[in-house]
Amino acid sequence: MKSKEWLNRQKNDPFVIKAQNKGYLSRASFKLLEIEKKFHFIRKSNNIIEFGSSPGGWCQVILECNINAKITAIDLSEMKLKHGNIQFIKKDFKTIDYKSLNKKYDLILSDIAPNTTGHKSTDHLRISTYIHDIIDLLNLIAYKNTNFVIKIWKGTEEKLIIEKLKSQFQKVTYFKPNASRKDSSEIFIVAQDFII
């Protein structure tokens, strides 16, 4: 999408306007609010990890829903949001020694996405690689019954990802928030109750 088109879309996007009015750092905040309204994961969680946390829109929602939640936020880009309950790690999530963090989480969130190329199948494969990498971390970072919410762009790897998650969680479903653009292939996979 050309930058002029993108700017026009942003200017007229009701969720962008709503985010600005509410003081959210990103329109993506509304996606997590919808997920929380349906599944009530945040209010039941003490320790939450978020992959792809910058600029901090999801962390804002977490703290709004559960002021006592402790958050480990990971991103290569700086977070705009600072809070005593947030431990921000500015690194590539694949380079972190999770054993040294010595933590497990009730809720694992990922809004992580690669920079898009505009080639849908390439972009899908790139985000899928991230998802497989995060799934490989589950035994290190998840408790029994931990919940997991991850963004994906629809494509060929989906079936394998769903199969992997179904072998590790009691229930796996899709969720498409109203805040996701209708013309976007973005959808969220919601995996409930991790099986150790």
Separation between Cα atoms, residue 25 and residue 16, nearest integer Å: 10
Handedness of CA 38, 59, 147, 47 (dihedral sign): negative
Question: Is the CB of residue 172 less than 8 Å from the CB of residue 192?
Answer: yes
Q: Which of 136, 123, 104, 111 is nearest to 35 (CA)?
A: 111
The catalytic position among 70, 82, 94, 151 is 151
Which residues, at least 6 apart from 64, have a Cβ–Cβ distance to it below 8 Å? none
Separation between Cα atoms, residue 161 and residue 147, nearest integer Å: 16
CB count, 10 Å around CB of 39?
16
Peptide bond into 114 cis (omega under 30): no
Separation between Cα atoms, residue 123 and residue 115, nearest integer Å: 8
Can 182 be counted among the known catalytic residues?
no
Which of the residues are catalytic?
Answer: 151
